[in-house]
Structure 1
Amino acid sequence: MPTNKKTKIVATLGPATSKKEILRDMINAGVNVFRINFSHADYSDVTERVKMIRELSDELGSNTSILADLQGPKLRVGVMAGEVVVAPGDKISFVTGKPFEGTAEKVYMNYASFPKDVKPGELVLLDDGKLMFKVISTNKKDEVKAEVIQGGPLKSKKGVNLPNTNISLPALTEKDIKDAIFAISQDVDWIALSFVRFSQDLIDLQALIKKHTDHKIPIIAKIEKPEAVENIDKIVAYCDGLMVARGDLGVEVPAHEVPLIQKQLVLTAKKARIPVIIATQMMETMITSLTPTRAEVNDVANSVMDGADAVMLSGETSVGNYPVQVIEKMSSILMSVENSDLISVPHNPPHVKTNRYITKSVCYHAAIMANEIKAKAISTLTNSGYTAFQISAWRPSAHILVFTSNKRILTQLNLLWGVKAFYYDKYVTTDETIEDVNAIACQKGFLDVGDMLISLAAMPIANKGMVNTLRVTEIESCNVKK
Structure 2
Amino acid sequence: MKRKTKIICTLGPATDDPQVLKELMLGGMNTARVNFSHGTYEEHLKRINMVKEMREELGLPIPLLLDTKGPEIRTGCFTEGRVELKKGQNFTLTPKAIEGNAEITQITYPGLAKDVERGTRILIDDGLIEMAVNNISGDDIVCEVLNDGPVSNHKSINVPDVNLTMDYMSQKDIDDIRFGIEQGFDYIAASFVRSAFDVLEIKRVLEQNHGEDIQIIAKIENRQGVDNVDHIIRVCEGIMIARGDMGVEIPFEELPSIQKEIIEKCYRSGRRVITATQMLESMTHNPRPTRAEASDVANAVYDGTSAVMLSGETAVGEYPVRALKSMAQICIKAEEDINYVKRFDERHLDSGMDVTNAISHSACTTAHDLGAAAIITVSKSGFTPRVISGFRPNCPIIAGCMNERVYRQLALSWGVTPIRTEMKKTSDALFEHAVDRALKQTSLIEKGDIVVITGGAPVGVSGTTNILKVQLVGDVLLSGTSASPKSVCGTVCVAKNTAEALKNFDDGDILVIPETSNDIIGILRKASAIITEKPGLSSHAAVVGMTLDIPVICGAAGATEILKNGTVITIDGVRGQVYSGVAKIL
Q: In structure 2, which of residues 165, 178, 181 is the aligned counterpart of residue 168 of structure 1? A: 165
**Counterpart Cα distance in 2 of 1:361 and 1:218:** 24
Structure 1 position 436 matched with structure 2 position 455? no
Structure 1 residue matching 2:46: 3-state secondary structure? helix
Matches within 5 A, 1:175-214: 175-213=172-210
Question: Partner amino acid for 1:56?
Answer: M
Matches within 5 A, 1:358-437: 358-437=355-434
How large is the Cα RMSD of the aligned pairs? 1.8
CA deviations on 1:121-158 (whole Å, 9 max, x unpaired) are: 1100111112111111112x321111122322223221
- Pair member with larger Rg: 2
Matches within 5 A, 1:62-141: 62-82=60-80, 83-103=82-102, 105-139=103-137, 141=138
- Give the share of equivalent positions with the same residue, in percent: 35
Q: TM-score, normalised by structure 2?
A: 0.78
Q: CA deviation at 1:184?
A: 0.9
**Counterpart Cα distance in 1 of 2:466 and 2:113:** 57
Report the counterpart of residue 308 of structure 1 in structure 2.
Answer: 305
Report the counterpart of residue 516 of structure 2 in structure 1.
Answer: none
Kept in 2, the 8 Å contact 1:459–1:465? The answer is: no
Structure 1 position 351 matched with structure 2 position 351? yes
Structure 1 position 268 matched with structure 2 position 265? yes
Q: CA deviation at 1:294?
A: 0.5
Q: Which has the higher contact order (CA 8 A, sep 6+)?
A: 1
Kept in 2, the 8 Å contact 1:350–1:364? The answer is: no
**Counterpart Cα distance in 1 of 2:86 and 2:208:** 50
Q: CA deviation at 1:265?
A: 0.8
**Counterpart Cα distance in 1 of 2:476 and 2:189:** 41
Kept in 2, the 8 Å contact 1:122–1:135? The answer is: yes
Structure 1 position 10 matched with structure 2 position 2? no
**Counterpart Cα distance in 2 of 1:123 and 1:134:** 5
Q: CA deviation at 1:164?
A: 2.5
Change (3 A) 1:299 1:465: closer
Report the counterpart of residue 448 of structure 2 in structure 1.
Answer: 450
Structure 1 position 37 matched with structure 2 position 55? no
Structure 2 residue matching 1:35: 3-state secondary structure? strand
Q: CA deviation at 1:476?
A: 3.9
Q: CA deviation at 1:251?
A: 0.7
Q: TM-score, normalised by structure 1?
A: 0.94
**5+ residue gaps, structure 1:** none
Kept in 2, the 8 Å contact 1:305–1:342? The answer is: no
Change (3 A) 1:341 1:214: closer
Question: Partner amino acid for 1:352?
Answer: G
Question: How many residues are matched?
Answer: 473
CA deviations on 1:414-457 (whole Å, 9 max, x unpaired) are: 11111111111131333322222222222222212332210001
Kept in 1, the 8 Å contact 2:364–2:393? The answer is: yes
Structure 2 residue matching 1:328: 3-state secondary structure? helix
Q: CA deviation at 1:21?
A: 1.7
Q: CA deviation at 1:325?
A: 1.1
Structure 1 position 59 matched with structure 2 position 68? no
Kept in 2, the 8 Å contact 1:171–1:194? The answer is: no
Kept in 2, the 8 Å contact 1:133–1:148? The answer is: yes
Report the counterpart of residue 473 of structure 1 in structure 2.
Answer: 471
Q: CA deviation at 1:275?
A: 0.6
Structure 2 residue matching 1:426: 3-state secondary structure? coil
**Counterpart Cα distance in 2 of 1:27 and 1:386:** 25
Q: CA deviation at 1:80?
A: 2.9
CA deviations on 1:213-250 (whole Å, 9 max, x unpaired) are: 15411101100010111111111111111000000001
Report the counterpart of residue 246 of structure 1 in structure 2.
Answer: 243
Kept in 1, the 8 Å contact 2:302–2:338? The answer is: no
Change (3 A) 1:174 1:464: closer
Structure 1 outlier segments of 4+, above 6 Å: none
Report the counterpart of residue 280 of structure 2 in structure 1.
Answer: 283
CA deviations on 1:263-298 (whole Å, 9 max, x unpaired) are: 111111112211111110011111111011000011
Structure 2 residue matching 1:49: 3-state secondary structure? helix
Question: Partner amino acid for 1:347?
Answer: R
